[in-house]
Structures are given as structure tokens and as C-alpha cells.
Amino acid sequence: MIKVEDIIVGYFRDVNILQGVSLQAIEGQITSIIGANGVGKSTLLKTICGYLHPNEGKIFLKKEDITRLDSYEICRKGISYISQRQNVFGNLTVEENLQLGAWTIRKDKTLVRERLQRNVNRFPVLAEKMKNRANTLSGGQQRMVEIARSLMIDPEVLILDEPTAGLAPRMAKVIYENILTLKHEEGLTILLVDQNIRQAVEYSDYIYVLELGKNKSDGSKDKFKDLKGILWS
């Protein structure tokens, strides 16, 4: 679904954070990127989503070159991105937050209502909170709002940057179970970064490890369960 080839990119012209990173996110699977802080995991996600343009390398979505597209164009291609920092509009209701995710289809009122209902079905805990301000929700519920908002465009690919950051273990597990449901029941392709390595390995189909802006290793979760001593030493 997504293929990244030898990406070199940084925030300043002559300082590259990523130095030739490659990966593939297979359709209908959960692919995780793990590694220490500062190795370029979030930078890689931002580059795939068009917030940064690489100095070298290519990015493909279903064999289409999207390397130079801007973020709004990539969104229209069917990729939704949720950033590391929680990003709900606190003074708006849950329903209004979700409607903002439907901006590109806002003229089709029937479709917007259908997408709202679909997200209520996906996240039943939000059903009774649709008229509540988002800033009255717990951290985990706000993360659900972000995920639901990103799904309003009915994407094929969901990209998440540390979806469980700052959440209690119980709520983090709920978020991952929701992600797993999106994979199994709706066939979403999911690419994510998480500092919780054990959790990422448990729920992922395939894992990439980055080190100092480069690929270190990759493989199925079975491979990494056999390498716990290396990953968590």
C-alpha cells in the first residue's frame, strides 16, 4: 500500500534526520516503526504525509508517486494522519470535532451524517458525549475523537504517531483494541510509531527498527519476540 524508498530528509537544508530509510506498509496490516527518541520516527511519518518533502528518495501509494504532493493532496488520496500531540478542539463539541474531519465532503450532508453514525458505531463510548465539549473528555476519549475524526474521510491508510502517549495502561489497551478492530473489520492499512515497544510488537504484523536515521532491522513480530534481549536491554 505504501512504499518508501531511500528517503533522505531533514528540517534544515544540510542537516538530514533520515539518511536513506526504506519501508513498506502492506495493505490490511499494522506496521510499526520503533526505535529510541530522536532517530527520526516522527520525521518519517511527516514525510510520508507531505508535511516534509525529501531531499532524495521516493514515496509511493499503491504504485503512485506521491513524493512531492502536499499534505492536503495526500489526504485526498486516502491517507489520514494523527500527530503525536493530542489535537482536539477543546471548546467544540465532540460532534463538531468530527464534522471538521469531514471538511472535504461537507457539502454532502447525507454522507456526513452517515460517517458520523459510523463513528458512533465504531466508538460507542462517544455516543452519549457527542454534545459535550471535547475538553471535558478523558485523555483516552480525546484520542478516540481524534481517530474518529480522521476516519470521517473514509481513508484507506491510517498513520498514527504514538497513539497511546500519556495514557494509562488500561486506556492504552483500549486504543490498541480499537486499532486492531479497524484492521480486522474494515481492512485499514495502519502505520504507526509507538514508544511502548512491547505493545507495538504485540499488535503489529511487521516491525521496522530505526537507529540514527537509518534502517537497523525489520521483520514480523515473531522475529522480534525472539529478540527481546536486544530490543529491551
Does the pLDDT value for residue 186 go beyond 70?
Answer: yes
pLDDT, one tens digit per residue, over 70-114 is 999 999 999 999 998 778 999 999 999 999 999 888 889 999 999
Residue 233 CB coordination number (10 Å) = 6
Provide the CATH topology of domain 2-231: Rossmann fold (3.40.50)
Domain locations along the chain: 2-231
Cβ–Cβ under 8 Å, residues 78 and 104: no
Contacts for 146 with CB less than 8 Å, ≥ 6 apart = 82, 86, 87, 88
Residues 57-76: b if buried by 16+ CB within 10 A, e if exposed: bebebeeeebbebeeeebbe
Q: Is 201 a residue whose pLDDT tops 90?
A: no
Indicate whether 135 pLDDT > 90: yes
Distance from C-alpha of 47 to C-alpha of 192, rounded to nearest angstrom: 13
Higher pLDDT, 224 or 37: 37
pTM of the model: 0.90
- Kindly report, residue by residue over 159-170, the tens digit of the pLDDT: 999 998 888 889
Give the per-residue pLDDT at 228.
Answer: 52
Alpha-carbon dihedral 16, 21, 25, 29, rounded to 10 degrees: -100
- For residue 112, give the C-alpha cell: 456526513
DSSP string, 19-36: EEEEEEE-TTSEEEEE-S
Nearest to 53 by CA among 71, 75, 35, 79: 71
